[in-house]
Amino acid sequence: MEQNKYAIAGWMAIVQAVLFPLSFIANIVEEGIAKGVFDIHRPIVGPADLLSLIFMGISIYTLLRFRALLNERYQNHDLDLLIMFAVWWVVIFHLAGMGLGILAMIFWPIDEVIFLIAYIGFMATAMVTCGIIDILIAVKLMKIKESVGEYIRVFGYITLVAGICEITVFLAPLALILVPVTAIVLALIFFRDKYEVEFV
């Protein structure tokens, strides 16, 4: 049997699914230790940020491999530009979020109200732009759903739901829950891509 060239991407997608909740847990633990043990009440850069960077790198890799799979297995290039937008969103969101934390750390103490407004504004902008990209990707996938495999169709539906949640902002926490689910479905796409092509 021909070796699946997307198997590594499949394993990376599983790592991505595990890293997402781990980075949240690491951030909470890190903040708790900083305040409870070291009495540090300002933002800090620590291991949670390293996990975030690793997650960013893996997310970029899996997105690019998904684009390659669509190109190769389905001769579809309609999502190329949107996937590149998604890649750049991942980069900008992670680096800008980390930059905001570093600036707050450098200029601390700062007005807590100003910091909260800046943080909420950043997150709201990030969620809305991510939602728009996700919805556009989902709509493109819906248009070609008859010619792609089952897992790609599921990926499209989940991406659409996540995009709608993100664009409302207040439902964004639901979209965050879907992140590891989406990564697992992406892993299934990578592992099963040859079979999907055969039986579509």
- For 62-94, the pLDDT digits (tens) are 999 999 999 998 888 989 999 999 999 999 988
pLDDT at 193: 56
Query: Residue 2 domain-assigned?
Result: no
pLDDT at 48: 78
Indicate whether 199 pLDDT > 50: no
pLDDT at 68: 95
Close Cβ partners of 175 (under 8 Å, ≥ 6 residues apart): 127, 131, 161, 162, 163, 165, 166
Query: Residue 1 domain-assigned?
Result: no
pTM of the predicted protein model: 0.85
Higher pLDDT, 27 or 18: 18
pLDDT at 197: 47
pLDDT at 200: 43
In the chain, pLDDT over 90 holds for what percent of residues?
A: 50
Domain count for the chain: 1
pLDDT mean across residues, the chain: 85
Query: Residue 35 domain-assigned?
Result: yes
Range of the domain at 85: 7-195
Query: Residue 200 domain-assigned?
Result: no
How much is the average pLDDT of 86-104?
Answer: 86
* Cα distance between residue 156 and residue 164, in whole Å: 12
Weakest mean pLDDT among 77-86, 166-175, 179-188, 189-198: 189-198
Query: Is residue 183 within 8 Å of residue 10, measured between CB atoms?
Result: no
pLDDT at 38: 60
Query: Residue 108 domain-assigned?
Result: yes
Query: Residue 86 domain-assigned?
Result: yes
Higher pLDDT, 1 or 25: 25
How much is the average pLDDT of 137-149?
Answer: 84
With CA atoms as reference, report the closest residue to 88 among 47, 49, 126.
126
Query: Residue 87 domain-assigned?
Result: yes
With CA atoms as reference, report the closest residue to 188 among 147, 138, 151.
151
